[in-house]
Amino acid sequence: MSFLTVTNLSARLKGTGFPILRRVSLSVAAGQVHGLVGESGAGKSMIGKAVLGILPSSVEITEGRIELDGVDLLSLPLKERRRRIGATAALIPQDPLTALNPSRRIAPQVTDRLVDILGWARARANARALELLHEVQIPDPERVLRSYPHELSGGMRQRILIASAFAAEPKLIVADEPTTALDVTVQKQILKLIAEMQARHGTALLFVTHDLGVVSKVCQSLSVLYGGMVVEDTPVRDFFRAPAHAYSRALLAATPKYTDPMASLVPVPEAVIAGVQAELAAFDRGARHG
């Protein structure tokens, strides 16, 4: 039973009508980790944003369904959609330095959803925050909860954001390149932490990344995107053994090998790009006529 189902989701830029997402379909089963990979601008972040209802105001959804726990989000009025998303899903943002409000202490930023949206008593929410900070291995959590964001390091802040995402036991978490903004030495720890938390809480995870190495470690399935179109949707094991699409194969070949750091980087061949762009064009023609 999949917890998140996206069906034929299309989105475009308001004004120019430039397509951002082209009939994207994917599903994430409860407790599974699904990766979204692709180069910059492929639309992988946009899918996560669409699911959480935080697309930029310049982007509009033109068709499709986003079902969260069986409810079509796009059919709900804005206020109700926000509440529903807040109660069942959460975001681990990309940049921990800008994702915490600088003028508020940490504690209310972890507990606000519990108190305001889910109606918990403040004492219970505070106890939960303390427990979560222990769980994400933050030393001296009492002091950290009283701190302001600027008093904490980037790694600490990302741990807090992870704790905050898991606070309400959501069924789905969207992790939007959660390690990209971090120091390389911290990246590994944070990745490990997210994987552990996900396994322990049994949360479905939509993992947006451009790093296939990360996908091979944490995901069970993945969608490869190009130009807002899903070119391949497959279990991770199959993908690394035998990628079906030429673009996927090229992407995999372009990944730097940690085992052979001296090997020169392989770009995605021009012919493959031309091929996948021809597919996009054919898709757009089909969309116009169909």
Partner 1 sequence: MQLLRTFLLRLLTTAITLIGVAVIVFVVIRVVPGNPIAMMLPPGATDEDIARLTAQYGLDKPIPEQFLIWASGVLQGDFGTSITARQPVLDLVLGRLPATLELSIMALVIAVILGGVMALTGTRARGTKVEAGIDVANGMALSVPDFLWGLVLILLFGVLVPVFHISGRVTPSLDLPFTTNFYLFESVLRLRFDLWADIVSHMFMPALALAIPLAAIIGQLLKQSLKETMHLDYVTLSRTKGYGENHVITREALPNAILPTLTLVGVQFTFLIGGTVIIERLFSYEGLGNMAIDAVINRDLPLIQGIVILFAVIFTAVNLVVDLSYALLNPRLRHG
Site residues for partner 1 per CB under 8 A: 52-54, 57, 78-79, 82-87, 89-91, 93-95, 98-104, 109, 112-113, 116-117, 148, 150, 161
Q: Nearest approach, Cβ of 227 to partner 1 (angstroms)?
A: 24
Q: Nearest approach, Cβ of 192 to partner 1 (angstroms)?
A: 23
Residue among 182 and 246 whose Cβ is closer to partner 1: 182
E-only strand ranges, the chain: 2-13, 19-29, 33-37, 59-68, 71-72, 89-92, 172-176, 204-208, 221-226, 229-235
Q: Nearest approach, Cβ of 106 to partner 1 (angstroms)?
A: 12
3-class DSSP state of 270? helix
Distance (Å, whole) CA 172 – CA 183: 26
Residue among 78 and 184 whose Cβ is closer to partner 1: 78
Alpha carbon distance, N-terminus to C-terminus of the chain: 31
Residue 55 has a CB neighbour count (10 Å cut-off) of 19
Q: Nearest approach, Cβ of 266 to partner 1 (angstroms)?
A: 34
Q: Nearest approach, Cβ of 125 to partner 1 (angstroms)?
A: 13
User: Which of 93, 18, 14, 106 lies closest to 56 in space, CA to CA?
Assistant: 14
Residue among 45 and 221 whose Cβ is closer to partner 1: 45
Q: Nearest approach, Cβ of 11 to partner 1 (angstroms)?
A: 17
Residue among 147 and 216 whose Cβ is closer to partner 1: 147
Residue among 55 and 272 whose Cβ is closer to partner 1: 55
Distance (Å, whole) CA 173 – CA 250: 29
Distance (Å, whole) CA 84 – CA 78: 10
Q: Which two tokens stand for residue 129?
A: 């925050």
